[in-house]
Amino acid sequence: MFANSFKENWDRPALTNYKQDTITYCELATKIARIHIMFEKIGVKKGDNIALCSKNCVNWAVAYLATLTYGAVVVPILPDFKASNIHHLINHCEAKVFFVGSQIWDSISPTEMPKLQVIVSLTDMHTISAEDEIAFKSEAGMNTLFDEKYPQGFGPKDIKYHDDKPSELALISYTSGTSGFSKGVMLPYRSLWSNVCFAGYAEPQMNNNSKMLAILPSAHMYGMIFEFLFEMTIGAHVYFLTRLPSPKVITSAMNDVKPDVVIAVPLIIEKIYKYNLLPFISKGRIRMLLNLPLLDSIVKKKIKDELVNSFGGVFKETIIGGAAFNREAEAFFKRIEFPYTIGYGMTECGPIITYVPWDQTRLFSCGKVAPRMKIKIDSPKPKEIPGEIMVRGDNVFLGYYKDKKATEAAFDDGWFRTGDMGIMDKDGYLYIKGRCKNMILGPSGQNINPEEIESIINNIQYVSESLVIEDDGLLTALIFPDFSMVEDDNLTETELEKRLDEEIKMVNLELPHFSKISKFELMPEEFEKTPKRSIKRYLYQRNK
């Protein structure tokens, strides 16, 4: 798919750093060929692991595509991870090459990753760290090697990429970065292929004249498939938003790029609803007009048109996923007939599980099972009583890297246990009803393991035990103090809260921004537990 797309769209624009440089598919293929030479010279074999870590940018995409098309395994690491997490993940996956952004490079130590053979800067693709005798270390050295391999120049006929097999490992995605216990999701080529084909089904209007604004982290499966990989297979033009995606920046970029499809996480849409729409529709006059049958449709259309224009005005659909959507905001978007749809997926499914086009959506549902996938609810009455959502099909991962125990626990007779609870109506629409696992989804779809954070909090003086929950979109630590220690030290409640506040701030310094504790509350009694002495988490959840 990549080879055909690059050949057919040779002179068309492929990748752009928003308001900066653009490369064509010809230039993309040439850059890939140069990286393949580097891989050959250092002895990278098919199946070896290659790690990438930076913010979204053209060179990240080049390195990613070069890895896949060579037949190596790409290991994208979220740039939010702390240096210690990055060191651990690089060592855990035994990466041979590490492509790294300048901001990440400034915080890490090469000596902590002894098995790396080469480190390459994604700022300008120069080699940061390598053996002195390696010929490609300089630009001139690489040019010489490239000219030797392609003496007649590099053209479409020279594109020869790895012949992948369906169940061959293509990618390892680490699901959490709060400690050294992150799980590596092993995705095969069939999962990437199936998800890319699904994107074509979900976005039939897109072609090689289409444009996409990539806002989400490309290291996360949602952004990777829908804002990047699919577009590369059809010859579309991808713009990477290299700035912090605030509502103002996103609106400005949308109007500049005018994307054919908008891919978003709830946080982005909810901010626009809260800061742009809610103040407007809360005004007395507007609120009154929205309650008058005749004028209601006129006002709703005006609001919808303004919202569509704020996203560039030409898109056919906004696909929302990665986390739960605010029910109030969703109900309003449905009321004004804004072309949105909500999908459901997981990293382990690369990511899609369910979806329907916007004109087939049902309020608070995340759609129907995607092509090449099957779904069932582990419940005696799946239409009425929530049960665990179980899936199987081409999208499903191979298992967790170097973690046989976790892999075996994730599957039941070939069905992947998602850890989510849901019901399914008679028409096959899925409704998520909560989580039976402990994992919390961050504001941009990052996986957060609360137990890892709790293990740190529980080491704080005066803390007996803790529980990390999501409360109104914020990570909240519920803390049951060690009251005997508090009493021994003659602390008042105010003094205790002050000390805990200082300690929580120190804990946050070691966590990625999406895993930071926003607030804490003191619990008067010990948490209720199961016979195994595990906390009954469901009794304390607040986001339904």
Q: What is the DSSP string of 520-537?
A: EEE-SSPPPB-TTS-B-G
**Phi, psi angles (nearest 5°) of residue 264:** -150, 155
- Give the separation between CA 179 and CA 252, rounded to whole angstroms: 36
267-289 tens-digit pLDDT: 778 777 766 776 767 666 666 77
Q: How many CA atoms does the CB half-sphere of 435 hold within 13 Å?
A: 20
In the chain, helix, strand, coil percent, each to 5? 40, 25, 40
By residue count, the chain amounts to: 544
Tell me if 3 sits within 8 A of 159, measured CB to CB: yes
- Give the separation between CA 451 and CA 537, rounded to whole angstroms: 11
Q: Calculate the alpha carbon distances from 355 to 270, 340, 345, 373 in Å.
A: 20, 11, 9, 11
Q: Is 392 exposed, middle or buried (0-12, 13-18, 19+ CB in 10 A)?
A: middle
- Residue 240 has what pLDDT? 97
Structure-token match 């109104």, residue found: 472
- Residue 268 has what pLDDT? 78
pLDDT at residue 534 greater than cutoff 60? no
Structure-token match 């982290």, residue found: 217
Torsion 210-214-215-220 (CA) sign: positive
- Residue 295 has what pLDDT? 62
Higher-scoring residue by pLDDT: 285, 69 = 69
- Give the separation between CA 9 and CA 207, rounded to whole angstroms: 11
Torsion 312-313-318-324 (CA) sign: positive
237-240 and 13-17 strand pairing: parallel
- Neighbouring residues of 256: CB distance < 8 A, sequence distance ≥ 6: 18, 19
- Give the separation between CA 238 and CA 225, rounded to whole angstroms: 12
- Give the separation between CA 434 and CA 388, rounded to whole angstroms: 9
Chain mean pLDDT for the chain: 89
pLDDT at residue 178 greater than cutoff 60? no
Q: Which of 93, 98, 180 is nearest to 401 (CA)?
A: 93
Higher-scoring residue by pLDDT: 211, 182 = 211
Q: How many CA atoms does the CB half-sphere of 136 hold within 13 Å?
A: 20
- Residue 440 has what pLDDT? 75
- Neighbouring residues of 520: CB distance < 8 A, sequence distance ≥ 6: 476, 477, 478, 479, 500, 501, 504
pLDDT > 90: what percent of the chain? 64
Q: How confident is the model at residue 299 (pLDDT cuts 50, 70, 90)?
A: confident
Spell out the domains of the chain, with CATH numbers in brackets: 448-539 (3.30.300.30)
Please give the single-letter amino acid code of residue 138. Answer: S
Tell me if 289 sits within 8 A of 295, measured CB to CB: yes
Q: Please, which residues bridge with residue 107 across strands? A: none
Token pair listed for 438: 């402990």
Q: Residues 9, 13, 19, CA angle at the centre, nearest 5°?
A: 170
Residue 65, Cβ neighbours under 10 Å: how many?
24
| Stretch among 85-99, 162-176, 329-343, 441-455 having the lowest mean pLDDT | 441-455
Q: How confident is the model at residue 532 (pLDDT cuts 50, 70, 90)?
A: very low
- Residue 177 has what pLDDT? 37
DSSP 442: -
pLDDT > 70: what percent of the chain? 90
- Residue 56 has what pLDDT? 94
